[in-house]
Amino acid sequence: MAHRLSVALRNDASEISRLVDRIDAFGLEAGLTPDVTFRLALSLDEIVSNVIRHGFDDDAEHQILVTLAVTDGHVTATVVDDGSAFDPREAPLPDLDAPLEKRQAGGLGMHLVRETMDEIDYRREGGRNVLTVRTSVAGRE
């Protein structure tokens, strides 16, 4: 049986906790391991937080749509927003070897997404960002 979740969020930081609660419930319902559920929640928290903080050039309310689906042994999550175009795959990697006081701000969150998900895909479609992340339901060793 395929498990699916769709959550429409406002571009407001208060929505993150609601998203994480829904991901936790989805993980239980779909029978995902705690590790997979945690990695999904961590990644989607970071992705949606970035959209809210950096994606919009105005103070208007915008919708961010997050969908999750478990099929063929994988969990696929898609985030769709109408913010500024941004391909996180092109974001520079943080210099993790630099001393803390010399590190540039930013980039660590997307580094975590890259490290916790097996695949990341991005496309711009109809004036919207469509970011898809995917991981195995088997988790990681």
Nearest residue to 110 (alpha-carbon basis) of 23, 22, 51: 51
Boundaries of domain holding 68: 3-136
pLDDT attached to residue 93: 61
Number of Cβ within a 10 Å radius of residue 34: 11
In a domain, 141, yes or no: no
Whole-number Å distance between alpha carbons of 140 and 128:
32
Q: pTM (2 decimals)?
A: 0.87
* Torsion sign over Cα 115, 117, 122, 128: negative
CATH number of 90's domain: 3.30.565.10
Quote the tokens at residue 130. Answer: 């469509």
Whole-number Å distance between alpha carbons of 51 and 28:
26
Q: What is the pLDDT of residues 103-137, one digit of tens each?
A: 455 555 677 888 889 999 999 999 999 999 999 99
118, amino acid identity = D
In a domain, 19, yes or no: yes
**Alpha helix stretches (DSSP H) within 7-139:** 15-30, 34-54, 108-116
Q: What is the pLDDT of residues 32-86, one digit of tens each?
A: 999 999 999 999 999 999 999 889 999 999 999 999 999 989 999 999 999 999 8
- Check: CB of residue 116 under 8 Å from CB of residue 11: no
Q: Please count the structural domains in the chain.
A: 1
